[in-house]
């Protein structure tokens, strides 16, 4: 799915990379507010959905080779973070939706999470959690 379609699905504001949105193809998404999880579980060329707005998220995005970042809950990074992303050609978007709903919207549109499973592929390898007695 093109990043421009994701921008529309999430009704997101574009902070950087407007010229890239029509060209970048998103294969999967990852949602996290922990840098350690982003570094451990996010795959290259994924789209990250996060509430983290510090410069470290741009450095992590560059290390992992993410195709962009969507800041959730209306969080907006500072000018230094926006400038870093612009210099590194990392698209930044902001949505008012919370992380859970943003991931749900994109999952329902057919994008898998970092596990690689999605409704579109029909793959459900999850294990049911035990029910409390």
CATH for 3-108 is 3.40.1390.20
- Residue pLDDT, tens place only, 77-121: 999 999 999 999 999 999 999 999 999 999 999 999 886 555 554
Mean pLDDT of the chain: 87
pLDDT at 43: 83
Q: What is the 3-state secondary structure (H, E, C) of the chain?
A: CEHHHHHHHCCCEEEECHHHCCCCECCCEEECCCHHHHHHHCCCCCEEEECCCCHHHHHHHHHHCCCEEEECCCCCCCHHHHHHHHHHCCCEEECCCCHHHHHHHHHHCCCCECCCCCCCCCCCCCCCCCCCC
Q: Where are the domains of the chain?
A: 3-108
């Amino acid at each position: 799915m093109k990043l421009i379609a994701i921008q529309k699905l999430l009704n997101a504001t574009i902070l950087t990379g407007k010229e890239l949105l029509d060209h970048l193809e998103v294969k999967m998404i990852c949602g996290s507010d922990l840098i350690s999880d982003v570094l451990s579980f996010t795959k290259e060329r994924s789209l990250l959905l996060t509430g983290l707005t510090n410069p470290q998220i741009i450095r992590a995005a560059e290390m992992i080779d993410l195709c962009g970042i969507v800041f959730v809950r209306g969080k907006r990074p500072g000018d230094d973070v926006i400038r870093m992303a612009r210099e590194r050609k990392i698209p930044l978007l902001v949505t008012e939706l919370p992380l859970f709903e943003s991931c749900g919207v994109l999952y329902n549109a057919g994008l898998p999470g970092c596990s690689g499973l999605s409704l579109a592929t029909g793959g459900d390898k999850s294990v049911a959690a035990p029910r409390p007695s």
